[in-house]
Structure 1
Amino acid sequence: MISPKRLRTHVEALTAHGPRFADLPGVPACLRYITDELSGLGLAVRVERYGGELHEVNLVAEIQGGTSDDAVELCAHWDSVAESAGADDNASGVAGVLEAARALRDAELPARTIRFCLFGGEEDGFAGSEAHMAHITPRTESIVFEMIGYTAASQRFPDELTGFVEPPERGDFIALVADDPSQPLLACFAGHLRVPSMPLVLPEFAQAVAMRSDHVPYWESGRRALLVTDTADYRNPEYHRPGDTAETLDYGFAAGVVEAAVRTVVELAQ
């Protein structure tokens, strides 16, 4: 079981030093915290640099697979915008990856490598995940956590999806967003969820509304990736604002999302 309490502990630690942006103090504190947490689970942490600045870095850890060079990845971006400590965006996603790593570390040797990726530069045009594409095989599949902790009494939707989906009125679901090749990932994840969800395979005419996170380099390079999101500013009024703080999140909800991710990764890695 995924602990809501541990998720909150991670989010509070990741946001304690302020925004995780450029040369601000939150960046080295965040990178140390992630490294210490993964290392404490017995996982070796690899640094993927994609530039010369301290913040231009991805942190990657693996559970090695037994029979395949391909991997199943669970990903989140660790950076925030300069104006926000980013509890939901995206300390919630990082916390989810860390707790999934805890749950999976003692799994039987998988056929496919299980990889945990914490990307920098999402708020700078997906710089970290774009650079990561050079390190992975074409058949690597990814689940991307992009804000998984906020629930609300109301919900908005992009105008581009009017008539294509019947949007729920309450913001109490997790959205699972795939392009056409990534439908198998969506189906697998949806089958393991125990919290309300809205699965959505985006038609080509509407894909632009979802091109806002680290799944984008996967889709653009022809790889499968699933975006798992609480829908960001379509639900959370504190998106990219100082009010995006740890006490605003629903950790029981987030735990349900992470539990489904763990079960999905286990199935995909077999």
Structure 2
Amino acid sequence: MPRHANPEQLEKTVRYLTQTVHPRSADNIDNLNRSAEYIKEVFVSSGARITSQDVPITGGPYKNIVADYGPADGPLIIIGAHYDSASSYENDELTYTPGADDNASGVAGLLELARLLHQQVPKTGVQLVAYASEEPPFFRSDEMGSAVHAASLERPVKLMIALEMIGYYDSAPGSQDYPYPAMSWLYPDRGDFIAVVGRMQDINAVRQVKATLLSSRYLSVYSMNAPGFIPGIDFSDHLNYWQHDIPAVMITDTAFYRNKQYHLPGDTADRLNYQKMAQVVDGVINLLYNSK
């Protein structure tokens, strides 16, 4: 049975999240809950065991949606993506980003993984988690959906992967920036690759994920293991699993180091590359099926 992500389905999910339930910011709880219900429906149709996890934030309810596949006990692989989007002030006016790349792209990847897992039950326990609250004002706080989820885990976790902005690619020379100019000596100046990022101690996890993503012959993959003080290394939900000594990495298009519409109204569905997104998902599903 073929196990390949569908670019058209990825685009459909991104357009729903960015157009039908826009904005998905912290002050738009109704749209966040509609997003959660949409995610839950896809998880249910994939045959998963579903849990709605409350995230105790004033003004809620905010909910993580958790889908379990495979064995009900033993070690887990967790794949997570946040479904909220950011708001910002532009010329002293509050604006809302559609959040296509950040992070409807990650959620679309998560839901495509669910559809693929429906085709074949994995041998290792797999948990897909859609997080309610990653963006400010919750970022780096105990109110992040991923912080609540990480603290609640009772099963051992082999690996956690955050899907954080996986949809924007630019092959123009000079389209890729880095935290430090010297990094351009080691990495491409064209933003047409996907990155796997983790701490120094997660080098084996990063290598494993990178190798699996490279199984897609058409996907360029680069990796980095670095201390947490390097800007961008901990800019997503994986950081909350580090606090529990769980190997955790981020798959990303590098966010604002490439996508100049980060957190802005221009982060729209039309700017994403759904073929490359599908290749990322194909790599992740191969990792899940080949894990022992």
**What is the TM-score of this pair, normalised by structure 2?**
0.85
State the aligned residue count: 265
In structure 2, what residue type is equivalent to 1:105? H
Q: 1:238 aligns with which of 261, 264, 269?
A: 261
Query: In the alignment, what sits opposite 1:148?
Result: 166
Quote the Cα distance in structure 1 between the aligned partners of 2:61 and 2:148.
Answer: 14
1:206-247, Cα deviation, whole Å (9 max, x unpaired): 445312110101122211011000000110011000111111
- Residue 21 (structure 1) aligned with residue 45 (structure 2): no
User: How far off its partner does 1:163 sit?
Assistant: 5.0
2:44 aligned with 1:39: yes
What is the CA–CA distance in structure 1 between the aligned matches of 2:286 and 2:185, rounded to whole Å? 27
Q: Distance in 1 between matches of 2:246 and 2:35?
A: 29
CA contact (8 A) 2:164 2:252 kept: yes
Q: Look up the SS of the partner of 1:131 in the other structure.
A: helix
Note if contact 2:122-2:288 (Cα within 8 Å) is conserved in structure 1: no
Q: 1:151-191 CA distances to partner (integer Å, 9 max, x unpaired)?
A: 012110002x7359612110000010011332222222222
CA spacing shift, 1:208–1:221, aligned 2, 3 Å = farther
Is 1:8 matched up with 2:32?
A: no
Aligned to 1:179: 199
1:120 aligned to 2:132?
yes
Q: TM-score, normalised by structure 1?
A: 0.91
1:78-93 equivalence runs, <5 A: 78-82=83-87, 83-93=96-106
Question: Which residue is equivalent to 2:146?
Answer: 129
Report deviation, 1:149. 0.2
SS at 2:157 equivalent: coil
Identity across aligned pairs (percent)? 32
Aligned-residue CA RMSD (Å): 1.9
Q: Secondary structure of the equivalent of 2:119?
A: coil
- Give the Cα–Cα distance (whole angstroms) in 2 for the partners of residues 179 and 165 of structure 1: 21
Distance 1:41 1:255, change over 3 A: same
Residue equivalent to 2:280 = 257
- Residue 287 of structure 2 aligns to a residue in which SS? helix
Compared with structure 1, are the counterparts of its residues 95 and 243 closer, same or farther at alpha carbon in structure 2 (3 Å cutoff)?
same
1:43 deviates by: 2.0
Look up the match of 1:65: 71
Q: Which runs of 4+ in 1 moved over 3 A?
A: 52-55, 137-140, 205-209
C-alpha contact (below 8 Å) 1:146/1:229 kept by paired residues: yes
- Name the aligned partner's letter for residue 43 of structure 2: L
Residues 134, 205 of structure 1: alpha-carbon distance in 2 compared, 3 angstrom cutoff: closer
Distance 1:54 1:141 in 2: 30
Report how far residue 19 of structure 1 moved: 1.6
Consecutive unaligned residues in structure 2, runs of 5 or more: 88-95
Q: Residue 122 of structure 1: SS of its match in structure 2?
A: coil
AA matched with 2:159: E
Structure number with the higher helix fraction is 1
Unaligned runs of 5+ in 1: none
**3-state SS of 1:105 partner:** helix
Q: Label 1:205 to 1:176 Cα distance change in 2 as closer, same or farther (>3 A).
A: closer
Using the TM superposition, name which of 226-235 and 68-77 deviates more.
Answer: 68-77
